Structure 1
């Protein structure tokens, strides 16, 4: 049962490799760079094993994630090969599988198990269809029991791991799938995409069941980007692309990677200075700023309209928009 458990599955990572099937990654803290195969990055040993002591070890990787990853891997293959990224040709189920994959990353990436305790504490336990039963008292948990229960979960990794599949499944079930088609948009990029160990960028999320990652941005592979949001731009321009990369770098917990090491070094150097400047302006995390930029760009139907607005130097209108958003 022991071994490498990839919190970013290899079928996903292989979409980002370059020549020699390699990625190049930067350690965020130390500014060091290294080449690596997909099997050697974004994993933790025995991450998804739950040790129940005398009752044995339960392997979530094998018993829970394997079937889901097979489903998601097929959706990515179909997206690339069968439908060639054409969202009009792509059936709703393929899109839904890709979105479900991203929703699941919320639980799988670093810190995912801590999200279990956060969700219980912030959203409560006795609402909806989740009721926790206490075998010792032969009763369901009461409101006054919840603080002690949450404290126990926070202090016990085994408990977090045990509850994670419940919330993983429930979040998918409660997600608002009615807006799937109108929110789903794929862009092809002229420059390579970078990816962090937390690859998605939250645009609209709550610590609430069914609301986690309600809207997001995520690189699909080295040259494609998914924007899943109601208000999304109709064109991808340099400033927006740059802030997506900044948000990925800012949101990563340790490693940021790309198939082009020179491009990665360039983006990391730019990001260090820019993220510090944005933080001094109170724009932290960077994804908060990205969300506002996207909403601003949504006002223009074409790039030509966007370019005309900037050429006219209509700074008053632009300043009003950003001030209105608290920026």
Structure 2
């Protein structure tokens, strides 16, 4: 039997490459120990867990969930390649935007932050709400409720479901007519003609207007796609000119909501943002909420 993969990234390597320095490596700030790591790491060396997506059936291990993620990465990789190649503007056709949006949904349910959330949602929702059903392959009859309840507590089934959940949500909840509400913006050029690519990446990289709402397709979000590119879901609003200060605020929020690591191309910038973020954390929860609201001030209603 062929060996299965064990090193499973919850932030894909191709995604992390957009946040590396010229050496192809990342500066890493260790949040738990409150320090910048002395060694720069490659994308393959961070944001992974061994056997995170490994399943076991009757004593036999399988990594087909990891293969599912790999297939998705292949699909969205084309759009990220196009974004990387574009220097001064974003021109993505509808198919590319669909891929980026699907990737955002997948990433949210792939990170450790949502481990307990996916278990709770899975256990407390009906099969209809989860968009699946289990039937006897011979008779075609639906499985009894007690069997469903057992399955819903099975770790292998939960891991499988979390991999396909973004696709199911995308199919059942995403409004194709609202594609224009999703926008990719590039870092602004300063008065010296320089493009300051600042964005960082952390283990919880999607910023929600309302963190208690997990429906990524129906609320405003901000998500760094690379150091200089950002995905916005505006929900019908417009986006003001995004000044460097607004982008720095995004990095501060990323620090506040990450638990283990935050990375970027430049170590000194990482340390500065860590210091800024700690000030907001030390003041009060209201200070952090004020910062979140300020981050979304770049959205404005154009109907008035």
TM-score normalised by structure 2 residue count: 0.81
Counterpart residue number, 1:74: 78
Counterpart residue number, 1:119: 121
- Counterpart contact for 1:23–1:258, Cα < 8 Å: yes
Instruction: Give me the whole-angstrom Cα distance separating, in 1, the residues matched to 2:26 and 2:43.
Output: 7
Q: Give unmatched runs, 5+ long, in structure 2.
A: 189-195
- Counterpart contact for 1:246–1:271, Cα < 8 Å: yes
Instruction: Give me the whole-angstrom Cα distance separating, in 1, the residues matched to 2:116 and 2:48.
Output: 17
1:149 aligns with 2:179: no
* TM-superposed deviation, 1:132: 4.3
RMSD: 3.0
Task: Indicate the SS of the match to 2:221.
Answer: strand
Counterpart residue number, 1:14: 17
Counterpart residue number, 2:191: none
Counterpart residue number, 1:241: 247
Instruction: Give me the whole-angstrom Cα distance separating, in 2, the residues matched to 1:200 and 1:252.
Output: 10
Q: Give unmatched runs, 5+ long, in structure 1.
A: 302-327
* TM-superposed deviation, 1:116: 2.6
- Counterpart contact for 1:17–1:23, Cα < 8 Å: yes
TM-score normalised by structure 1 residue count: 0.76
Counterpart residue number, 1:266: 272
Instruction: Give me the whole-angstrom Cα distance separating, in 2, the residues matched to 1:164 and 1:267.
Output: 32
Instruction: Give me the whole-angstrom Cα distance separating, in 1, the residues matched to 2:250 and 2:205.
Output: 11
Counterpart residue number, 1:94: 96
* TM-superposed deviation, 1:84: 4.1
Counterpart residue number, 2:54: 49
- Counterpart contact for 1:119–1:207, Cα < 8 Å: no
Give the aligned length: 285
Task: Indicate the SS of the match to 2:259.
Answer: coil
* TM-superposed deviation, 1:94: 0.9
* TM-superposed deviation, 1:80: 2.2
Counterpart residue number, 2:281: 275
- Counterpart contact for 2:242–2:298, Cα < 8 Å: no
Structure with bigger RCO (C-alpha 8 Å, 6+ apart): 2
Instruction: Give me the whole-angstrom Cα distance separating, in 2, the residues matched to 1:122 and 1:197.
Output: 26
1:194-205 maps to which residues of 2 (within 5 A)?
194-203=200-209
1:1-327 maps to which residues of 2 (within 5 A)?
1-34=4-37, 35-62=40-67, 64-81=68-85, 83-84=86-87, 86-87=89-90, 89-121=91-123, 123-127=125-129, 129-133=131-135, 139-142=142-145, 149=149, 153=152, 156-174=154-172, 175-189=174-188, 190-203=196-209, 211-214=215-218, 215-230=220-235, 231-279=237-285, 281=286, 286=288, 288-289=289-290, 292-293=293-294, 296-299=297-300
Instruction: Give me the whole-angstrom Cα distance separating, in 1, the residues matched to 2:113 and 2:149.
Output: 20
Deviation string 1:199-246 (CA, Å, 9 cap, x unpaired) is 1112357767xx335332111111222212223531113543233112
Q: Which has the higher helix share?
A: 1
Task: Indicate the SS of the match to 1:185.
Answer: strand
Task: Indicate the SS of the match to 2:19.
Answer: coil
Counterpart residue number, 2:193: none
Task: Indicate the SS of the match to 2:263.
Answer: strand
Instruction: Give me the whole-angstrom Cα distance separating, in 2, the residues matched to 1:201 and 1:241.
Output: 12
Counterpart residue number, 1:305: none
Residue 291 to residue 264, structure 1, CA distance change in 2 (3 Å): closer
